[in-house]
Structure 1
Amino acid sequence: MTDDSTPAAAPRQQKVQSAEVGVGILKALAELAPATSLSKLAEYVDMPASKVHRYLQALVDSGFAEQDPANNHYRLGRSALQVGLAALSQLDVLKTSAPALIALRDELNETCFLAVWGNKGPTVVYVEQALGAVTLVTQIGSVLPLLSSSTGLVFETFLSATETAGLREAESASLDEAQLQEIDRHLQEILSTGVHQIHGMLMAGVNAVSSPVFAMGNKLVGVVTVVGSASVFTDQRQALAAQKLLQMAQAISARMGGEMPPLASTRDHE
């Protein structure tokens, strides 16, 4: 058996280094999509053009890159697209969120759930129930209100106005001006903090914390929420849960290739 200090290990190290360089060039092609010239690619990866060209030829031969005969620019090939699609198929929000929700439930011993936007509004699709907890608002399939639940308000904050218009109009019809202003205050709080805490808003004696989950392109794909009885989910515990939940939501988003968009890219609620 050889180790990395022996002459026999040198070829192996060279192969590893070559693979790392090739992956770096492949990533650069993705970042410079849809296509780029050899000179721009070489500048981007800070390598001599002749060296980049050798790797590009190998990528072309393997189907991971293509060259446009019209302008000689390079782009990702069919094999790269197949790998990308396979990776995307694994980034299902439920599949990605479930392990994190289990871990957070175990850490806090509070009920944690994931909701997605359904045809009737915020819909609970996954629940990790706290031990000994009984609640009526976190059953799988439950549809939560848009303007009177922590989960719903996060959807209202980050979804487009077109997507939520019908539900918002229906729910706001019974609210007075002061209540609508209070909702706008909640939305601005969510925008500035990325997490929303409420006390007994949807149901008396039930507190909740919610945070958004984003996928590639910073598209909102779900909202994660921690909910518990106000008698045990006190201010201090809720503040801790908010911190943990935000960290978890950011980690899930990063795993799915997204992040919370800046304020400038969100819609105006005024």
Structure 2
Amino acid sequence: MTESSAGGAGRRQKVQAAEVGTDILTALAELAPATSLSRLAEHVGMPASKVHRYLQALIASGFAEQDVTTNHYGLGPAALFVGLAALGRLDVVKLATPYLAELRDELNETCFLAVWGNRGPTVVHVEQAVRAVTLVTQVGSVLPLLGSSTGLVFNAFLADAQTADLRDLELQTPSAPSPRDLQAAMERLRQTQVQSVQGLLMAGVNALSAPLFSGGQRIAGVVTVVGTEPGFMAEPDGKAAQTLLRITRRISTRMGARLGE
């Protein structure tokens, strides 16, 4: 074999390796939030030993991670970083950002935008109030579906197929609502379009959330106002809720939603 042909073979191997790695990353996203090695190998149609080798490389680079308690695999922080960069190009992020700053200034409370990611509700932009903010408002935070006002809005307005797996998982926790109570809460939320919680995710921290809609009346994101007691009580029919709804409806209109239909 000549030097040039050997170099060509090496390049082809690198391309093939990159393609395999991409296939495994895609499968991790499709099987999110986590999956076993055997299920992942079956999904990509590769031997488990081969998938395991690639997973070790992906873990080393931060694109995958393994839960030490379950041994299941999921996307890592580097994959989240890349995903957030891509999400930053979406119209909802560009359109909502100046309105979030306006909302923050009117209420003097921290406001953030979340979109639906492969691991659930994901914070993609934060407008911080002057006062101290909580950990749940950091960009990249993934919020619980049933344990946060943001997640509850996604649960009410997203297609059931998108939320079913995560919802079924969270319904198994001791603090989860009953399916009947959850259904009733979802029906109320679809009418009021504002979700209020007091201390659900963190004691003393209250939140109000409302959906953003795009053309076709599809939910494109959720805007949340978060603050601490006693200054922010997050009354569902209070001034802050009314301001939040006014702002989110303006954003939705800009995104092509026809509200009131």
The TM-score normalised by the length of structure 1 is 0.60
SS of the aligned residue for 2:252 comes to: helix
1:186 deviates by: 2.2
SS of the aligned residue for 1:148 comes to: coil
1:233 aligned partner: 232
1:123 aligned partner: 122
Q: Quick check: 1:206–1:229 contact (8 Å CA) kept in 2?
A: yes
SS of the aligned residue for 1:203 comes to: coil
1:141 aligned partner: 140
1:120 deviates by: 0.1
SS of the aligned residue for 2:113 comes to: strand
Structure 1 unmatched ranges of 5 or more = 1-89, 263-270
Question: Which residue identity lines up with residue 94 of structure 1 in the other structure?
Answer: V
Q: Distance in 1 between matches of 2:128 and 2:181?
A: 30
Alignment of 1:256 onto 2:255 = yes
SS of the aligned residue for 2:94 comes to: helix
Q: Quick check: 2:112–2:125 contact (8 Å CA) kept in 1?
A: yes
CA shift in 2, pair 1:195/1:147, >3 Å: same
The TM-score normalised by the length of structure 2 is 0.62
2:27 aligned partner: none
Question: Which residue identity lines up with residue 248 of structure 1 in the other structure?
Answer: I
1:198 deviates by: 1.1
Q: Distance in 2 between matches of 1:130 and 1:153?
A: 23
Task: Calculate the aligned-residue CA RMSD, in Å.
Answer: 2.2
Q: Distance in 2 between matches of 1:102 and 1:142?
A: 19
Aligned residues: 173
2:179 aligned partner: 180
1:218 aligned partner: 217
1:51 aligned partner: none
1:247 aligned partner: 246
1:199 deviates by: 0.8
SS of the aligned residue for 1:208 comes to: strand
Structure 2 unmatched ranges of 5 or more = 1-88
Q: Quick check: 2:253–2:259 contact (8 Å CA) kept in 1?
A: no
Rg comparison, structure with higher value: 1
1:174 deviates by: 2.2
1:148 deviates by: 1.1
